[in-house]
Structure 1
Amino acid sequence: MPFPRPTPSKAAPSVAPAFYRLREVSRISALSRSTIYRRIAEGRFPPPVTLGGRASGWAREALQAWIDDPEAYRFTPPS
C-alpha cells in the first residue's frame, strides 16, 4: 500500500512531508495515541524523533517500513 499523500491545495504543490505529527500518524495507521505508544514500547512501531523543543514527529521512511509489513515490523535501536 503506497504511503498516503496529504490533500493537495491550489497554492502549494503536492509534496509529502518529511515528518508526520501524531495526529497524522494516528490517521494514517488507524491506531489510537495509546496504542501507538504501547507498540513503540513493545518495539512494534517506529519511535518518534525530536524535531526541536517539545515537538516530535515520525520520519516518512520509518512509517513506510511499518506500513509495508506492520505484523513483522520490529524496531531495533541503532548501536
Structure 2
Amino acid sequence: MDATQTSHSNSIPLAPSTLVPVLEDQFLSMAFITQLTGLTDKWFYKLIQDGKFPQPIKFGRSSRWLKSEVESWIRQKIYDSRKTEDGY
C-alpha cells in the first residue's frame, strides 16, 4: 500500500511502506515483537483479532510475522501519532 491507499478498518491514509521480497525478509517471533515495543503479547493478539496488526504466519504451532510488515505497522503508528489536525 502507498500513502494514497487506506486501511480496511478506517479511512486514515497509510504511511508509505517499502515492499521487501519474501526471501529477503525475516520472520519475527512474538517474543521479539514484545521486547522491541515493550507491549504485551495479549495486547498484540487483541490487535490481531481487531484487524489492527498483521496476521501471523503459521509454521505448525509456531507463529511468526514478517519483519517488513511489523516495521510498516510501527511506521504507521509513528505517522498517525505525529499527524496534526490539518493532516500534516
Q: TM-score, normalised by structure 1?
A: 0.61
1:65 correspondence with 2:64: no
One-letter amino acid of the counterpart of residue 41, structure 2: R
C-alpha separation in 1, matches of 2:60 and 2:49: 22
What residue number does 2:62 align with? 55
C-alpha separation in 2, matches of 1:60 and 1:45: 13
Runs of 4+ in structure 1 displaced over 6 angstroms?
none
Higher-Rg member (1/2):
2
More helix by share: 2
What residue number does 2:29 align with? 21
Alpha-carbon deviations, 1:23-71, whole Å to 9, x = none?
A: 0011112210110000111111112111x22111010111011110125
What residue number does 1:39 align with? 47
RMSD: 1.8
Return 5+ residue gaps in structure 1 as ranges.
Answer: 1-16, 73-79
Percent of aligned positions with the same letter in both sequences?
25
How many correspondences in the alignment?
Answer: 55
